[in-house]
Amino acid sequence: MSKHYDHIAIEKKWRKRWEENPINLPNDKKPKYYCLDMFPYPSAAGLHVGHWRGYVVGDAISRYKILQGFEVLHPMGFDAFGLPAENYAITQGVHPAVSTAESVENFKRQLKDLSAVFDWSKEINTTDPSYYKWTQWIFVKMFKEGLAYEKEMPLNWCPKCKAVLANEEATNGVCDRCGSVVTKKMLRQWMLKITKYAERLLNDLDKLDWPEKVKKMQSDWIGKSYGAEIDFEVEGLHKRIKVFTTRPDTLYGATFMVLAPGHKLVSELTSSEQKEAIDEYVFAASTKSSVDRVSSKEKTGVFTGSYAVNPLNNERIPIWVADYVLEDYGTGAIMCVPAHDERDFEFAKKFGLKITQVITKEGSQDMELEEAYTEEGIMINSAHFNGIPSTEAKEVIASYLEENGIGKKTINYKLRDWVFSRQRYWGEPIPIIHCEKCGTVPVPEEDLPVVLPNVESYQPTDTGESPLSAIDEWVNTTCPICGGPAKRETNTMPQWAGSSWYFLRYPDPHNDDEFASKESLRAWLPVDMYIGGIEHAVLHLLYARFYTKFLYDIGAVEFEEPFIRLFNQGMVNKDGIKMSKSKGNYVSPDDMLERYGCDSLRMYELFVGPPELDVEWSDSGIDGVYRYLTKLWKLINEYKDKIIEPNNEYDFVRNKMIYEITTRFNNFTLNTVVSGFMEYTNKIIELAKKHDGIDMETLEALTIMLSPFAPHISEEIWELTGHKDTVFDQSWPEFFTEKLKEDTVEIALQINGKLRGNLSISADDPKEVIIEQAKEALREKLEGVSIVKEIYVPGKIVNIVVRN
């Protein structure tokens, strides 16, 4: 090997060796560690250096665990169904199966360039019939348990293209393809009853070692609210309007009501004078998405001409229709309390409606409210409830309503059932047969998979049905129950289907009798570490938890939560925005690999910033890492034949180095692990000069610890320094606390009283310094949540209390 750092020769040599002799995964007496990367969607664009970031984190952890004596499962696969491949087929005339296979090949080549310890023998692909057989099997099970059902649902419909559009194809209510205004069309859809699991999905978040921010996003998405349903009589009609409110304490301040445009009483309540205005308003609302409706700045609405009666003070209050109230939340109707609700306040101001304050800060009424008072306080203008705290009034008034038959206490969730069908070609066929005699019949399990047939045209049809509906010989089949003529379901599953359970397949990907054997599941699951982007905080991660709980309930798996620990790597930006091919700020790893090599790129991906934060890519930053490896290379070459007897100085530096790097690794501050290598290599260089020689044990420790980050150069150094085995068969080095400075103590780091890490501190440091260090070590977990309190129990614990 040459004296200068020849990354091309070194990396070529070791990749060939590892291919011939894969890194041994140790035997099954060792503890297991399942390290999972979110599998990619294989786009035609290929991987960029932003994608690499998460994979490098996953690979460094996997290799670290191998060195710690774990048996590691670190698999990779492809989530290959979905809209982009299908749209590509429509525009380019290439079958999605063909274009997807090409993209997969390209992705695999790029992933191999990472030199990650992926176990390719376990590769999966969601478009493989032997895989989606089990995606369909789970659906059949859900159908049999009553969790999959059909329902008429409004879908985005482009009247010009005559096609159903996915939400992402109908941004801002306009068809992406032709620019027409998108309307709604009622179509039969398959739904999954995820709402049945709302409470468990919420409660079990407590068990998870996930970033608090993601847990909060999930609990907000599930959106549990305690409140009451209250009945309002409509004046002059024998009708009642039921509202859902989280604030029964404000009932005396309810000065008008609002119905969602699609509420079933709208037409009945509309007076003849108001009919035209209401009809027009209701139609306009039907063309908007709920997101647009709720987020639009200017409140709009129309008076129906009718009045209701406030059940507590008998006040006559006008009934309006407005699109900021949604049909499918609560009861689709609200009582409006402009004094204490921002949206109602805006609405009342705009339309000149009455504002009555019923809660106040100090027990005295404000002259005129300039904005809604949304805090707790003391009740006023509320008859015999005056003077009590509003928090208490919530309960007292709700009970009063219940006793008098005007209302009842309720719980509401924001979580909706999951619309599970797509009118598309490139997805798993929903395994259902429709028979005129027997109704909706699941395909018998032994007949799975229902293979996706070849079609000539992928174009969505003008009836809103899937392109599959045009293939008569596929659609027409026989009923599995009565044997009579029947038709196949032609809708396909959404892209989320295949990824909701893939982590269960990896341990046993070739099993044809089960989605995975019980033994393999017991051996590997749940996933110990799941690494991926924060953009999956709700949908994918919630669906995967839902699937797991369902499979647990039918006895197919033995655990209720799939991912014990979650890590979200930050995004890589270039010129301030997220890197992507379409934006033209795309840095391909291919060029970087050529110039600097895999080891430098891997290390730079980690060095570029704290792994959980977004970072700005700089092509020149990688130079620094490359220079570091060159320096290390020089050190080895200069001193590899000058091994000296151990001494105290080397002992101290080695211990400190192992301690520092291990703790930083455990705390997941991987960028500081890389700077640790730089720091300690400098110290070793100093010692080598001073003693004109190097200590073997120190050199070995450094090489072993470096190997998860820069595997090629580590192997080369290992060999150069006379070792015959591979560096990956070694054990992670140990440190001895007694050889570190005396005054350091190890303390526990907690979030909300749960152990989340350790930290070694100088016992004499002031409390503030220790808390700062603790927060730094926990930064990933604390990102985006608000800290309520910081507690330090001297020499023992730092507990950070956060709000969820």
Q: Which is nearer to ligand ANZ, 332 or 427 (CB)?
A: 332
3-state secondary structure 739-771: HCCCCEEEEEEEECCEEEEEEEEECCCCHHHHH
Collapsed DSSP state (helix, strand, coil) of residue 124: strand
Query: Of these, 100, 103, 245, 382, which contacts ligand ANZ (CB under 6 A)?
Result: 245
675 binds, among ligand ANZ, Zn ion, none (CB under 5 to 8 A by kind): none
Query: Of these, 207, 437, 627, 741, which contacts Zn ion (CB under 5 A)?
Result: 437
Query: Of these, 340, 424, 488, 712, which contacts ligand ANZ (CB under 6 A)?
Result: 340
Residue 30's nearest CA partner among 61, 59, 67 is 67
User: Quick check: 332 binds ligand ANZ (CB under 6 A)?
Assistant: yes
CA distance 804 to 789: 13
User: Quick check: 244 binds ligand ANZ (CB under 6 A)?
Assistant: yes
Q: Which two tokens stand for residue 465?
A: 């049905």
Query: Of these, 438, 564, 613, 643, which contacts Zn ion (CB under 5 A)?
Result: 438
Q: Which two tokens stand for residue 328?
A: 């499918």
Number of residues that bind Zn ion (CB under 5 A): 6
Query: Of these, 337, 398, 529, 542, which contacts ligand ANZ (CB under 6 A)?
Result: 337
Q: Which is nearer to ligand ANZ, 375 or 514 (CB)?
A: 375
Cβ pair 337, 350 in contact under 8 A: no
Residue 70's nearest CA partner among 109, 23, 114 is 23
Question: What is the sign of the dihedral through the CA atoms of 189, 193, 194 and 199?
Answer: positive
Cβ pair 533, 580 in contact under 8 A: no
Query: Of these, 195, 225, 290, 313, which contacts ligand ANZ (CB under 6 A)?
Result: 225
Q: Which is nearer to ligand ANZ, 116 or 358 (CB)?
A: 358
Per-residue DSSP letter, 127: T
Residue 228's nearest CA partner among 246, 241, 242, 213 is 246
Q: Which is nearer to ligand ANZ, 126 or 390 (CB)?
A: 390
CA dihedral 161, 165, 169, 175 (to 10 degrees): 40
User: Quick check: 523 binds Zn ion (CB under 5 A)?
Assistant: no
Contacts of ligand ANZ in 391-420 (CB under 6 A): 412
Pairing outcome for strands 256-259 and 316-321 = parallel
3-state secondary structure 168-218: HHCHHHECCCCCCECEEEEEEEEEECHHHHHHHHHHHHHHCECCHHHHHHH
Query: Of these, 64, 252, 329, 543, which contacts ligand ANZ (CB under 6 A)?
Result: 329
CA distance 323 to 280: 12
181 binds, among Zn ion, ligand ANZ, none (CB under 5 to 8 A by kind): none
Q: Which is nearer to ligand ANZ, 251 or 441 (CB)?
A: 251
Q: How far is the CB of 440 from ligand ANZ (least distance, A)?
A: 31
User: Quick check: 637 binds ligand ANZ (CB under 6 A)?
Assistant: no
Q: How far is the CB of 479 from Zn ion (least distance, A)?
A: 3
Stretch that binds ligand ANZ, among 336-344, 620-628, 657-665, 737-745 (CB under 6 A): 336-344
3-state secondary structure 223-251: CEEEEEEEEEEECCCCCEEEEEECCHHHH
User: Quick check: 439 binds Zn ion (CB under 5 A)?
Assistant: no
Residue 570's nearest CA partner among 618, 613, 529 is 613
Query: Of these, 261, 330, 431, 676, which contacts ligand ANZ (CB under 6 A)?
Result: 330
Cβ pair 137, 95 in contact under 8 A: no
437 binds, among ligand ANZ, Zn ion, none (CB under 5 to 8 A by kind): Zn ion
Q: How far is the CB of 168 from ligand ANZ (least distance, A)?
A: 24
Distances from the Cα of 352 to the Cα of 313, 337, 344, 355, 564, angstroms: 21, 14, 11, 9, 53
Q: How far is the CB of 361 from ligand ANZ (least distance, A)?
A: 15
Q: Which is nearer to ligand ANZ, 392 or 734 (CB)?
A: 392
329 binds, among Zn ion, ligand ANZ, none (CB under 5 to 8 A by kind): ligand ANZ
Q: Which is nearer to Zn ion, 439 or 766 (CB)?
A: 439
Q: How far is the CB of 324 from ligand ANZ (least distance, A)?
A: 6
Collapsed DSSP state (helix, strand, coil) of residue 592: helix
Q: Which two tokens stand for residue 242?
A: 């039921």
User: Quick check: 379 binds ligand ANZ (CB under 6 A)?
Assistant: no
Query: Of these, 158, 302, 335, 430, which contacts ligand ANZ (CB under 6 A)?
Result: 335
643 binds, among Zn ion, ligand ANZ, none (CB under 5 to 8 A by kind): none
Q: Which two tokens stand for residue 763?
A: 């016992």
Q: Which is nearer to ligand ANZ, 109 or 416 (CB)?
A: 416
326 binds, among Zn ion, ligand ANZ, none (CB under 5 to 8 A by kind): ligand ANZ
Q: Which residue has the tokens 């009455």?
A: 354
**Interacting residues of 315 by C-beta distance below 8 A, sequence separation 6+:** 255, 309
Q: Would you give the binding string for ligand ANZ spanning residues 582-611, x where CB under 6 A is met?
A: ------------------------------
Stretch that binds ligand ANZ, among 104-112, 246-254, 480-488, 550-558 (CB under 6 A): 246-254
Estimate to the nearest angstrom the gap between the alpha carbon of 272 and the chain centroid: 50
Q: How far is the CB of 336 from ligand ANZ (least distance, A)?
A: 7
CA distance 739 to 744: 11
Q: Which is nearer to ligand ANZ, 371 or 445 (CB)?
A: 371
Query: Of these, 1, 284, 482, 787, which contacts Zn ion (CB under 5 A)?
Result: 482
User: Quick check: 479 binds Zn ion (CB under 5 A)?
Assistant: yes
Q: What share of the chain is helix, strand, coil (3-state, %, to 5)?
A: 40, 20, 40
Q: Which residue has the tokens 């429709």?
A: 434
Q: Would you give the binding string for ligand ANZ spanning residues 249-268, x where CB under 6 A is met?
A: -x---------x--------
**Interacting residues of 784 by C-beta distance below 8 A, sequence separation 6+:** 211, 212, 213, 216
Query: Of these, 326, 419, 481, 523, which contacts ligand ANZ (CB under 6 A)?
Result: 326
User: Quick check: 480 binds Zn ion (CB under 5 A)?
Assistant: no
Q: Which is nearer to ligand ANZ, 164 or 322 (CB)?
A: 322
CA distance 258 to 317: 10
Q: Which is nearer to ligand ANZ, 386 or 580 (CB)?
A: 386
Query: Of these, 53, 141, 216, 247, which contacts ligand ANZ (CB under 6 A)?
Result: 247
Residue 258's nearest CA partner among 352, 370, 347, 355 is 347
481 binds, among Zn ion, ligand ANZ, none (CB under 5 to 8 A by kind): Zn ion
Q: Which is nearer to ligand ANZ, 299 or 340 (CB)?
A: 340
Q: Which is nearer to ligand ANZ, 87 or 412 (CB)?
A: 412
Cβ pair 74, 118 in contact under 8 A: yes
Q: How far is the CB of 226 from ligand ANZ (least distance, A)?
A: 9
Cβ pair 106, 99 in contact under 8 A: no
CA distance 331 to 351: 24
CA distance 436 to 443: 15
438 binds, among ligand ANZ, Zn ion, none (CB under 5 to 8 A by kind): Zn ion
CA distance 760 to 771: 12
Give contact residues for ligand ANZ (rule: CB under 6 A): 225, 244-247, 250, 260, 325-326, 329-330, 332, 334-335, 337, 340-341, 412
The residues binding Zn ion (CB under 5 A) are: 435, 437-438, 479, 481-482
